[in-house]
Structure 1
Amino acid sequence: MTIEKRTTVHAFRDDSLGEHDAVGLAEAVRRGEVSPAEVARDAAARLGAVAELHAVQVPLDPPALGGGAGGAFAGVPTLVKDNTDYAGLPTGHGSAAFTPRTARRHAPFVRQLLSTGVTVLGKTRLPEFGFSPTTEYESADPARNPWHTGHSAGGSSGGAAALVAAGAVPLAHANDGGGSIRIPAACCGLVGLKPTRGRMVPNDQSRHLPVDLVVDGVVTRTVRDSAAFLAAAERHHRNPKLPPVGLVEGPSDRRLRIGYLLDSPNGVRCDDDTRAAVTDTVATLRGLGHTVEPVTMDIDPRFTEDFLTYWGMLSFLLGATGRTFGADFDRHRMDGLSRGLREEYVKRWRGTPGVVRRLRRTKLAYAAALRGLDLVLTPVLARTTPPLGHLAPDVPYPVLVERILEYVAYTPVDNVVGTPSLSLPSSRTTADGLPVGVLLSGRPGSERTLLETAFALEAERPFRRIQDV
């Protein structure tokens, strides 16, 4: 595997989007400084300017927009991840195993997204069925990291993260079943909030499964965009079983008790750059007046194997029911990671009831770890962003799965438990200039506390901007 020379790519320029985040751009639209149609045209031009990132799956021509559209993000351009139906566009799920059909109606989350006023300009790429933590393929160009185009943009929302980091759009749809919002956010220097299970409208793909892992959201460049999106989405759908979040606009005066964990609950030791990012954040939080102390999380030692088996069950079910995606679906054309997951599951399917039972019990260990604490700080990933090819689906499955487990060692716990979790850029970068993320997680319904803490960290150490590199 050859590591490419560093190339940084971005689309920031002197146009109607400027250097605005989504909140700033929406304010400019409301003040009449720019029009929604002008913004859509300029965003489409930006998408074209970063075509080498290979992050767009299906482009849409910029619509002819008039004034008067409502919503907190009226006139703000975005894209939908290509595992979610947008009426009139095909949904391909990142797979070469079938020919995508055109969706006849919007998925429930797309309706929630559109309620915020955004303008959709197309769909973003993801790895096959969202299984991989990198957006790479066996026979197509990978999505590239705009900070260093020879490296992964993360996955599974890698296309979304690449475009937001590169400045093509201020925010983009993402979803997360094992880290797929937070991983690409960490790789691309973004804010990635995985909300509490049930905070957003239920995800069509996972709501009927024995453990509902997937939740939708967005990736953004600023904490205020993530906070404003959550507040706007809540106006469309609010789960009465969860405390309302409302609009979070800055840090709180409340001083928190925060636990931190360096090595993962399943024993994976993080690398030196990642370790330094967490310890730097610990120091920053202490400087802000919070009490920060080490914590342990005694989850079942079988958790990693159980999660992998459950992931394999999902691949098996997709292979068995694939004709619902397209009449020509052929499970033999699924990529090496999907095939390997399915084949391993076939060997151990009889253990599925025990796997589900143990995964559901993870919430007890998680609750015990957070007893007396408000939040937990960990790495997002155990390793910094790898070069393209390291996690590609054509790597032999036994090697690939070992690499994935050494990389994705923290994020799945929050998917299993259903707790909210927020990836933030740290003050650290790798020797290649790549961002390193840190992860804040909390109890169910604690998004307000997460966002308030993120606001404080962003103010204390502003996030690096790709246009300044």
Structure 2
Amino acid sequence: MCGRVAPGNVAGMRVDEYAAQDATGIAELIRSGEVSAAEVYEAARAALDAVAPRLNATAAEPFEKPLEHNADGPFGGVPFAVKDLVCHIAGVPTRMGSRLTGPDGLTFGYDTELMARFRAAGLATMVQTTSPEMGFNANTEPLIHGSTRNPWNPGHSAGGSSGGSAALVAAGAVPVAHANDGGGSIRIPAGYNGLVGLKPTRGRVSLAPDAQEALYGFACEFAVTRTVRDAAALLDQVAGWVPGEKYRLPEPPRPFATEPERDPAALRIAVHTESWAGSEVDPDVAAAVDSVADTLADLGHRVERATPALDWAEFILANFRIWAGFLAESVHGVSQLSGLAPGPDTLEATVLAGYEYGRRLTAVDMGEALAIANRTSRELGRFHQEYDVLLTPTANTPAPPLGVLDANADLDHEAWTRKLFDIVTFTPLFNLTGAPALSLPLGVSSTGLPIGVQLAGDLCSEGMLLALGGQLERAVPWAGRRPGVWAGV
């Protein structure tokens, strides 16, 4: 698919040199004149060509040249990829992982606000990445594209719903890529692929002009990165209020980019490794979290076992309804734009089941779901009066084999949602509450797969999480790890 340039020496920058850099490092090389943006792009294109056929992580052919961007921005000339969901590009078709968008996809005449900010930051968009249909999966194997594969083991899932972005970043094709998160869709693929995945506070990154909030406030936009400093620096560029927003958060006391450089004051950290759903947690995963807890204690933090009092039966009921309502409105809107009717020829089985479930919901049903969200948020707010951070696994297991989370399975909406949440129990809580959470690649399984560890804080605590993430990155560095599918080889 992308066989234009073989990996090896590229004038000005070798592919292995390119693939080893994070976005901040590449931007510094370009600014210093050590390499040109054109030379970086040639190395990036060779890297993409090397790994894309093995990962199936691109939703369309790469653009002939990087999309227009601000060359003088802080990330001027840094190669980038955009997930083919929510964040859309003027004049470029979007398919949302779905046949319902039609053979040519849906094309909008304008950038979303986030895409405009990516351009202003200087990010040079090369390609769109794969997503499961409507983002409703912790895996990326949509019928429209096929299986996106994990670069650490191509027989395993890259996660979802930002699996395509995570696979390309982990494999060295791009140093950073757009992602979004409605139940863990930034953090889960970050954990499965050995990356940094920050879910910001609700309202931190704008969804303008298309929406004031997405998934009834559960979903947010951002990115997956290889380093904490990249997540922090990029958040400075894309966060911020837009007129007409539903939420207006206070400005941070200092730039996010400064946070990973400092060690935070001693924090009160709660550790929890048992599934709130009662489902299995892999022993390697629990051991990785326990190891991080020991490291945090050694760094001077107060660490103890504790958990919010989460009523899982209520929590999952709210998610049945919130996700179904989202699917009903999303499928209806896409159908209106494409002219295609929802059905088994245009939607995968579990998405169709969710759409039909959502159409049957009443205003009272949704009111009850939002009341559960309120009670749960109040409990988490109470918990954070005692603890600054909740430390958990990112997902219950390392990346599962391909096919385990098949969205075209013959399951009703409740059975499918329950199956998802049994495997990724720890991330959805922070979508419901809107609080920030950060997945870090701090563990490795006995089979060599990455293990993500999640740090969650109270609303607007991204600065604290990034500072703690930077401290852990220094204490337990991961920069030298390389997956089997790696552009620099």
Same fold (TM over 0.5): yes
Q: Of 71, 74, 80, which aligns to 2:73? A: 71
The answer to whether residue 323 in structure 2 is matched with residue 296 in structure 1 is no
Question: Is the Cα contact below 8 Å between 2:68 and 2:119 reproduced in 1?
Answer: no
The answer to whether residue 315 in structure 2 is matched with residue 314 in structure 1 is no
Find the aligned partners of 1:325 and 1:271 in 2 and give their Cα distance: 43
Question: Is the Cα contact below 8 Å between 2:82 and 2:179 reproduced in 1?
Answer: yes
Question: Is the Cα contact below 8 Å between 2:285 and 2:445 reproduced in 1?
Answer: no
Q: Of 328, 336, 351, which aligns to 1:338? A: 351
Distance 1:341 1:235, change over 3 A: closer
Partner residue in 1 for 2:129: 124
Partner residue in 2 for 1:273: 284
Question: Is the Cα contact below 8 Å between 1:322 and 1:331 reproduced in 2?
Answer: no
The answer to whether residue 439 in structure 2 is matched with residue 412 in structure 1 is no
Map 1:68-467 → 2, pairs under 5 A: 69-83=71-85, 84-99=87-102, 100-138=105-143, 140-202=145-207, 207-208=212-213, 211-234=216-239, 241-244=249-252, 245-246=254-255, 247=257, 248-301=259-312, 302-332=314-344, 333-346=346-359, 349=362, 351-397=365-411, 400-426=416-442, 428-463=443-478, 465-467=480-482
Cα deviation digits, residues 410-468 of structure 1 (max 9, x gap): 11111111111000012x32232110101001011111110111111111111154437
Question: Number of paired residues?
Answer: 458
Partner of 1:57: helix, strand, or coil? coil
Partner residue in 2 for 1:38: 39
Distance 1:468 1:307, change over 3 A: closer
Find the aligned partners of 2:429 and 2:7 in 1 and give their Cα distance: 35
Find the aligned partners of 1:251 and 1:77 in 2 and give their Cα distance: 28
Distance 1:374 1:401, change over 3 A: closer
Tell me how large the CA RMSD over aligned residues is.
Answer: 2.5
After superposing the two structures, state which structure 1 stretch, 281-290 or 38-47, moved more.
Answer: 38-47
Cα deviation digits, residues 65-112 of structure 1 (max 9, x gap): 89x822211110101111121112101101012321222111111012
Question: Is the Cα contact below 8 Å between 2:129 and 2:165 reproduced in 1?
Answer: yes
Distance 1:274 1:69, change over 3 A: same
Distance 1:465 1:126, change over 3 A: farther
Partner residue in 2 for 1:19: 20
Distance 1:11 1:184, change over 3 A: farther
What displacement does 1:161 show?
A: 0.1
What displacement does 1:206 show?
A: 5.5
Distance 1:27 1:460, change over 3 A: same
Distance 1:109 1:329, change over 3 A: farther
Find the aligned partners of 2:122 and 2:428 in 1 and give their Cα distance: 31
Question: Is the Cα contact below 8 Å between 2:326 and 2:358 reproduced in 1?
Answer: no
Query: Structure 2: any 5+ residue segments left out of the alignment?
Result: 1-5, 485-489
Identity, % of aligned positions: 36
Cα deviation digits, residues 241-265 of structure 1 (max 9, x gap): 3241512241325111111111233
Question: Is the Cα contact below 8 Å between 1:12 and 1:166 reproduced in 2?
Answer: no
Q: TM-score, normalised by structure 2?
A: 0.88
Whichever residue aligns with residue 420 of structure 2, its letter is: I
